[in-house]
């Protein structure tokens, strides 16, 4: 049997323990330590797989938001909407929508004028409203007509037809219907040599109209429109005192007076009276546009124009504005409706000095447009 060297065994054991301690102190792998310790290496526990987050698709029209990025909110001044432009209120008077105006017919000899207009005033001066006048119809009966005929010295029998009355003798004739009165002296008397002054002629015509009740209320001043010196006759025209001026032929009383003050003829279209109501007028810009486009009624003294048929350029400067009137409607439902009348002066080729000129356009907002 072999003898065991106890000292050598102990020395080997001591060396093994020292090596193991040094190994462990140096922190070598667990597996080697376990091998040296005489144990089986432990099976490592597999690490849990990393969680991968799949992004949810974001629609194209949306911007994905992130937690890391913060977009600051810009403080902007709120936009203040401008106040709405007020729609002008059209003032419609008591008579409702008005029929189209009967615009005066322009004189053919003014057709050669070629006006070019310029404003020397502000359009703010154009009125925005004006009264409309309804003409009241006159009522007649046989008794009243007979009374007028007797005051005129007409001897005869009154005949009635289609609402009118007629009476005549060998010297005079009278016809009355509604607002119309026509008188004619059939037998002319001897005439004076010369016509008196205008004031005398106007007074003779006025006295005759008022004495025989041939006009209603509101008779104006009257003017002599023509003096026919060779025949000893003058034509006197009356229009209403209010409204004024009236550019249409209605209402009007035209009286022919002889040199000796005798009334030869009369054509009268005059209402019993007037009722008024305020109406709104069209915008001033639209009225002025009518003037520029030649839709106005032009007034100028024909006598101031040079003779001939050649075109006449005219530079017209408007320096004022006023209200004038013309009639509208028919015989049974007639009105005097406002026109805006621009006034000024024209420089016309071939004429020395400026010539007064006026142009009028229909003005009521609630009124049918004129023909043409």
SS (H, E, C) 307-351: CCCCCEEEEEEEEEEEEEEEEEECCCCEEEEEEEEEEEEEEECCC
Q: What pLDDT, on the 0 to 100 scale, is given for residue 265?
A: 97
Q: Provide the token pair at 61.
A: 């029209």
pLDDT at residue number 34: 42
Query: Model pTM?
Result: 0.74
Q: How many CA atoms lie within 13 A of 62 on its CB side?
A: 7
**Which tokens belong to 232?**
């000893």
- pLDDT tens digit string along 70-87? 554 555 556 666 666 555
**Whole-number pLDDT of residue 21:** 46
The pair of structure tokens assigned to 72 is: 């600051």
Cα–Cα distance between 346 and 291 in angstroms, integer?
Answer: 14
Q: Note whether 185 and 169 are within 8 A (CB).
A: no
Residue 11's pLDDT is 56
> Which residues of the chain are under the pLDDT cut of 70?
1-88, 188-192, 372
Tokens in use for 16?
A: 């093994």
Whole-number pLDDT of residue 187:
76
Element (H, E) at 365: none
Two tokens at 154?
């007409």
């Amino acid at each position: 049997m072999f003898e065991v060297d106890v000292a050598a065994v102990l020395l080997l054991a001591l060396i093994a323990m020292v090596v193991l301690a040094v190994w462990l102190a140096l922190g070598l792998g667990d597996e080697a330590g376990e091998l040296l310790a005489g144990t089986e290496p432990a099976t490592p526990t597999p690490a849990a797989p990393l969680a991968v987050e799949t992004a949810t698709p974001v629609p194209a029209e949306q911007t994905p938001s992130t937690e890391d990025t913060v977009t600051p909110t810009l403080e902007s001044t709120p936009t203040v909407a401008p106040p709405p432009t007020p729609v002008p209120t059209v003032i419609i008077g008591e008579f409702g929508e008005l029929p189209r105006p009967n615009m005066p017919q322009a004189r053919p000899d003014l057709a050669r004028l070629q006006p070019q207009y310029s404003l020397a005033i502000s359009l703010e001066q154009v009125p925005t409203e004006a009264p409309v006048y309804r003409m009241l119809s006159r009522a007649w009966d046989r008794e009243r007509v007979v009374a007028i005929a007797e005051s005129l010295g007409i001897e005869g029998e009154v005949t009635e037809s289609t609402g009118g009355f007629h009476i005549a003798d060998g010297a005079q004739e009278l016809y009355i219907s509604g607002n119309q009165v026509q008188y004619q002296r059939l037998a002319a008397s001897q005439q004076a040599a010369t016509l008196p002054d205008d004031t005398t002629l106007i007074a003779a015509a006025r006295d005759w109209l008022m004495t025989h009740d041939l006009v209603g209320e509101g008779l104006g001043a009257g003017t002599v429109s023509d003096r026919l010196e060779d025949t000893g006759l003058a034509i006197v025209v009356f229009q209403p005192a209010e409204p004024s001026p009236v550019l249409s032929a209605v209402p009007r009383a035209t009286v022919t007076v002889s040199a000796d003050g005798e009334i030869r003829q009369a054509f009268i279209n005059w209402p019993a009276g007037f009722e008024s109501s305020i109406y709104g007028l069209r915008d001033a810009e639209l009225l002025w546009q009518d003037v520029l486009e030649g839709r106005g009624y032009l007034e100028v003294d024909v006598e101031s124009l040079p003779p001939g048929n050649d075109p006449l350029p005219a530079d017209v400067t408007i320096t004022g504005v006023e209200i004038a009137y013309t009639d509208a409607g028919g015989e049974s439902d007639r009105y005097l409706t406002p026109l805006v009348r621009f006034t000024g002066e024209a420089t016309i080729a071939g004429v020395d000095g400026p010539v007064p000129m006026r142009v009028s356009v229909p003005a009521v907002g609630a009124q049918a447009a004129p023909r043409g």
